[in-house]
């Protein structure tokens, strides 16, 4: 495994842990969304660790969902959105870069 794959695993794991912290939120929607995103992050990390074909796409999808949640949190004035924004962006970029075999050559 390359260093970018391990970095994607580490960042996605941190993102899942940060989502568990939303259980202490006063917003009901965040209390529900946080654990759901945390479980999705665990599943995507397992997929990336075991080199499943869906692992990279799962990390990118969870990162995108977290990115949308962070932007919504910024608009709603929820604390902690910058951390979610950075971790989500890093997870997406690192997962995309870590899987060069999924890129297809452009042919004319």
* Average pLDDT over the chain, rounded to an integer: 88
The band of 21, judged by pLDDT with boundaries at 50, 70 and 90, is: confident
> Would you state the pLDDT for residue 36?
94
In tens, the pLDDT along 32-80 reads 988 999 999 999 999 999 989 899 999 999 999 999 999 988 888 888 8
Would you kindly state where each structural domain of the chain is located, as residue ranges? 3-19+28-99
> How many angstroms separate the CA atoms of 29 and 39, rounded?
16
The span from the CA of 30 to the CA of 4, in Å, is 30
Spatial neighbors of 35 by CB under 8 A, at least 6 apart, are 19, 20, 22, 23
Distances (CA, A) of 83 to 18, 53, 76, 100, 102: 8, 28, 15, 27, 28
> Above pLDDT 70, what percent of the chain?
91
CA distances from 85 to 59, 71, 99 (A): 15, 7, 22
| pLDDT for the residue 103 | 55
């Amino acid at each position: 495994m390359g260093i970018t794959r391990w970095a994607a695993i580490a960042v996605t794991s941190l993102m899942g842990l940060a989502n568990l912290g939303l259980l202490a939120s006063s917003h009901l929607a965040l209390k529900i969304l946080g654990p759901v995103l945390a479980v999705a992050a665990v599943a995507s990390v397992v997929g990336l660790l075991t080199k499943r074909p869906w692992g990279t796409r799962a990390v990118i999808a969870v990162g995108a969902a977290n990115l949308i949640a962070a932007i919504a949190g910024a608009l709603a004035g929820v604390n902690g959105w910058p951390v979610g924004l950075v971790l989500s962006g890093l997870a997406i970029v690192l997962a995309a870069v870590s899987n060069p075999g999924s890129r297809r050559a452009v042919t004319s």
